[in-house]
Chain A
Amino acid sequence: MEYILTILVMISIFVILSASYNLVIGYGGLATVAHPIFYALGAYTTGLLSVHTDLWPPLCLLAGGLVAVVASVLLAASALRVSGDYLLIASLGFQLGLLQVIRNFEFTGGPGGLSGIPGTITGAARTPAYLLICGGLAVLTVAFVAWIVRGPYGRAITAMRDEELAFSTLGRNAMSMKIAIFAIGCGIAGISGGLYAYYFQYVSPEQFDVLQSAALLTMVVLGGMGTSMGPVVGAAILLAVPQAITFLELPPNIMAPMQGIIFTTLVLAFMFLRPAGLVGGAGRGKLPAALAGHGTEAP
């Protein structure tokens, strides 16, 4: 039972993470892979605060979100001047660079990771309580993203993604809109990082590298980019399937690369068969803007 609840907590945290990533890449069309680094910043900030101070845990979570927002604005203000493939490279550089910094500092625990994060909630009800908190925040995040992209604000995001030049010529500041979307998405990622730190009481730099970017992208693509329920489905499947195959009792030398093989196979299969994802409508045949490659001619 404890095992299943733990997986559900994990899924909740990843629903928050992938829903916020979906806001940035799926709705905003901003092709970044650096999302895990904001997750990391939240996790480390929250972890360090709770190791070294007696700050009220929700405030530590918010602080984690805030650090992620500040970092995202720093990245956005420089990197969002370029778009498409260039943004992808810039964000990757940002992620790997910052990860190196975390690995090389003493106070972050270095390559060994940050341990000794207090349990905060203890006793038999610990995991159910975390499930309630993380699950509740996951529902809130999905609802919040759905609310943002509905109505006039969502219309503006779509217009910017469709034709940035026309959008600007109608008097809209595309740059500030991109920074806002980026900051909101990354701030939420920071908070989910804090939740992770509290629940697992241990954070290591390996969890936030490019493999995590790939996993997150897979969740969003598989579930359906630019759909509000897509990330939920994607996160649930991609976390549950690797757990499920452990019951097949395959030999370890097959098990080890299995996860990578599953991710790769799923991404390839979905790009060919159902580019709009499981939840995304099959109609219109439109590829998510971030992946479709914009054909906007230079004026």
Chain B
Amino acid sequence: MTEILRVEAMYKRFGGIVVADNIHLTIAAGEILGLIGPNGAGKTSLFNLISGVVRPDAGRIYLQGTPIDGQPLYRRARTGIARTWQNMLLFTTMSVLENLLIAPRAYPGESIFRLLLAPAGVRAAEEEARTRAMQILARMDLTSAANAMVTDLPFGHQKLIGLARTLMNDGALLLLDEPMAGVEGAAYETMQRVVREEAASGRAVCVVEHNVSFIKDLCTTAIFMANGKILESGSVEKLLGSKVLTDLYFGT
């Protein structure tokens, strides 16, 4: 399998707290890697380090073979890292469709010069983005919500819009931060199905999740973190049977 992400010897501390202690990991195309661990284990921090929200103190990050650790946040996104957020961070004064239209990595319409000099090209790009956005919404059974304000949507659907936005962004790597927290019913099924389809289409996916059954259903491999360290990694079955994990989660 093609390797999409490789993290080598990553280290980061905030004052006295080490949030990433010698982290090594790789994610391949088609893989869905689960990231589990108690609160404060460093899961979201790992996402922030990979996507570029914070800079690591040491270590290297490669995306499809290209070193990206020198790149700022927005450049890494252009290289191909798409992520969601625990608290979604949707654009709250905009409609569902607008939230998706802002997400593509190529956006000729956001240059004043292109708007002035090549309006036809801008229109074509807008039209193409609109078609793609509607296709993604259709896959999530959210076609009818396209023109609703995102804030008017139920919570589960808002989470799906967060995922839809990363699909519009079309990165090779998807980092999903607690996609299932607070999601139930049909939205839960949809989330699972879409994530699975995306992995099957060749994306690398990494999921932070507290919901162990979601991890069990979805992930092929998993990593167990605590105190900024990777304690165990491997197949999901192996991990869930591990004594380290059960000790930390349920006490001895």
Contacts and interface: CB of A to CB of B under 8 A. Distances in A.
Contacts of B92: 162-163
A211 B98 CA distance: 39
Contacts of B103: 170
A166 B75 CA distance: 13
A152 B94 CA distance: 12
A174 to B, nearest CB: 7
B18 to A, nearest CB: 17
A299 B165 CA distance: 19
B148 interface: no
Contacts, number: 87
Contacts of B75: 171
B77 A153 contact: no
Interface in A144-171: 148, 151-153, 155-156, 158-159, 162-163, 165-171
A173 interface: yes
A39 B174 CA distance: 47
A257 to B, nearest CB: 39
Contacts of B54: 299
Interface residues of B, number: 35
A171 B51 CA distance: 11
A163 B102 contact: no
A156 B107 contact: yes
Nearest to B122: A152
B74 A299 contact: no
Nearest to B112: A153
Most buried by B among A155, A286, A297: A155
Given A151-B109, A163-B90, 4 more contacts: A155-B101, A158-B93, A165-B85, A167-B102
Interface of B: 44, 48, 51, 53-54, 73-75, 77-78, 82-83, 85, 87, 89-94, 98, 101-103, 105, 107, 109-112, 115, 122, 126, 165, 169
